[in-house]
Amino acid sequence: MAEPRAAVEVLEVPLNRSEAAFPALALAFTGAMLALGYFHYNYSWTSLAFPLAAGLVVCLLCLFEIAAILRRRGATAPRAADTTPLSLAALAWLFALAPFLYAFGFVFGAALYLLVCLRGSGFSWRLSLGTAAASLLVSWGLFVSILGVQLPIRPLWM
């Protein structure tokens, strides 16, 4: 009686799953920080509720990403030589956030930065304005109004 043969595609799957390293590290770090806050520092549920909810969402997303990477058959991650190099313009946009935050404050500066950056990258007015408005609503509505975080609303030079 002949032994069953494994499918050829299963044998040809590369065992290099290094793209799962970052989600695995993020999962381990987030889990360790949540455990440290609960077991070592004995944070109350009042102060641990939001970090616990956000941390569990991050952990679930990392687990889904790791499972998707491990289930992928025969797919390889793009090599560093295949990706586009970082341009000077992209680096300038990255460092342009600091002057926006300094000149207009954290809440309005981040929203204005998103508007200018997205329009400068060629996105539509609707997407740019919508993203800037969403940033403003989240920064002001969630963090300042609901959570009471003391963000620098006024420009830092004032």
pLDDT confidence of 19, banded at 50, 70, 90?
confident
Residue 120 lies in a domain: yes
Q: How far apart, in whole angstroms, are the C-alpha atoms of residue 134 and residue 130?
A: 6
pLDDT confidence of 11, banded at 50, 70, 90?
very low
Q: Which residues are CB-contacts of 17 (< 8 A; sequence separation ≥ 6)?
A: 69, 70
Residue 109 lies in a domain: yes
Q: In total, how many domains does the chain have?
A: 2
Q: What is the pTM of this model?
A: 0.53
Residue 47 lies in a domain: yes
* Domain of 45, in residue numbers: 15-71
Residue 6 lies in a domain: no
- 67 and 93 share a domain? no
Residue 13 has pLDDT above 60, yes or no: no
**Residue among 85, 73, 30 nearest 54 (CA):** 30
- 97 and 65 share a domain? no
Residue 156 lies in a domain: no
Residue type, 10: V
Q: How far apart, in whole angstroms, are the C-alpha atoms of residue 108 and residue 119?
A: 17
Residue 7 lies in a domain: no
Q: What is the pLDDT of residue 123?
A: 93
Residue 26 burial by Cβ neighbours in a 10 Å radius (0-12, 13-18, 19+): middle
